[in-house]
Amino acid sequence: MTTDISSDTLALAGGAPAHTHRPATYPRFSSAAYERVRGTLDQGPMQGLSKRHPVIAELERALAAYHGVEHCLAASSGHGALQSALIGLEITGGDEVITSPYSWGASVSCILHNGAVPVFADVHPDTGLLDAARLDALVTPRTAAVLVPHLYGQPADMTAICAFAERHGLAVIEDGSQAHGARHRGARVGSFGDASGFSTNGVKPLATTEGGYLVTRRADVYWKATISCQHAGRGELLGRASEPGFPDELRPWIDSLVYTYRPNLVSALFALDRLPHLDEENAARRRNVALLREQLAGVESVRFVDYASEDECVFHMVTLNFDAEHAGVSRDTYLRALQAEGVPAVGYVEQGLHHSPRLSPDWAGPRVMWTEAIRRSGYDPTQAELPGCDAKVARSIELPWNCHVVDERLVASIARAFVKLEGQLDGLRAVEAAAAP
């Protein structure tokens, strides 16, 4: 526990915020990276259409090596990378993809945008990760794949999920958009599935401006993704079809009917700058979380997640579980109190995706491209009963955690806010009661 501030006035009631220390700026790029960007802007070429461009070649080879796979396809976003995975695996035409309702919508939008149907499995109420024990019951003759988010930088149980997929002959797609460098039983996420998508936008563990990438062990997935998601090229430009190894059998199918998910060269250069530091920064994130655990040992209103000893998180966010019975106030009141104390806490997933009205086969609002596919499937995602997901949403508190250098002062400052609230629960209950209609 930190210095006793339990008698201080709550910030919600007009007191001074407990947390005032600010983290180091994130991300930070080296002067060498800025020089490379300037050189590229000055000299070109500005289109990174394939590995024929030296920057794209360098980035894709470095990322493939980092994840221990053979192929990487840089993309414009994490969503683009995930849809590229689905396209490379030819998952479309009403195919069903089992996935998590507890995630950012891009994990599901990529399925919908590719003409497939998301089927929601329940999650562990502590972590929000897919519960492998609940997957078998969801398999139908139309099931083609399982898409697995490693939310908050927590590695899902890929051993159990891959065993499930093998039993049923399903493809495995990993969404590692918050989990660059996380490990399950010693292996990095992104190396388990048939294909994996990652985001590199400006808040992710590997942060640039905006971007993403696909990694895969399968050459066929890589090449099929290139002809539908990027510029393959037909001789006038050095597109993906100019890369060594491009399959001759795909050449007749090259045209300009593509999703424009090409990478941005500036983001590629920034990713190259930060990738060598990723493991070190992830270790600092973990150390800061360990310090926070120590300092919140006496705070019973929130509980940390306990992870398997052989797994390694990267902590894009720290997910906590709120104990409303102990605190005597709602999660939302506690969240507002934390924010007033200066802690940028959020409930990251506002509702399970199975509660999204636009997924209903009876949706009558502005038309979306997936309603007919859902209607034809006979499956209504909005009718799924997922108590684990609902429980996690109701009690979850997330701390954005781009704390990429060990910072004891920062952690102590964050901890002060929790300690203050723990000592002022009676006052917080009074604030909540006064605000009630």
Band of residue 6 on the pLDDT scale cut at 50, 70, 90: low
Helix 331-340 with 408-423: angle, nearest 10 deg = 130
d(CA 108, CA 120): 10
- Give the CATH number of domain 31-277; options: 3.40.50.20, 3.40.190.10, 3.40.640.10, 3.30.56.10: 3.40.640.10
Residues 378-408: pLDDT tens digits? Answer: 999 999 999 999 999 999 999 999 999 999 9
| Average pLDDT, rounded, for the chain | 96
Q: Quick check: helix, strand or coil at residue 167?
A: helix
Band of residue 1 on the pLDDT scale cut at 50, 70, 90: very low
Residues 278-323: pLDDT tens digits? Answer: 999 999 999 999 999 999 999 999 999 999 999 999 999 999 999 9
| Percent share of the chain, pLDDT over 90 | 94
**Phi-psi label, residue 328: left if phi above 0, alpha if psi -120 to 50, beta otherwise:** left
User: So what's the pLDDT on residue 233?
Assistant: 82
CATH class of this structure's domain 11-25+278-349+390-435: alpha beta
Residues 154-199: pLDDT tens digits? Answer: 999 999 999 999 999 999 999 999 999 999 999 999 999 999 999 9
Residue 236 has pLDDT above 80, yes or no: no
Residue 5 has pLDDT above 80, yes or no: no
User: So what's the pLDDT on residue 427?
Assistant: 96
Task: Supply the DSSP string of 186-228, one letter for each residue.
Answer: TEETTSSSSEEEEE--TTSSS--SS-EEEEES-HHHHHHHHHH
The ranges assigned to domains in the chain are 11-25+278-349+390-435, 31-277
More confident residue, 233 or 246: 246
d(CA 434, CA 429): 9
d(CA 107, CA 111): 7
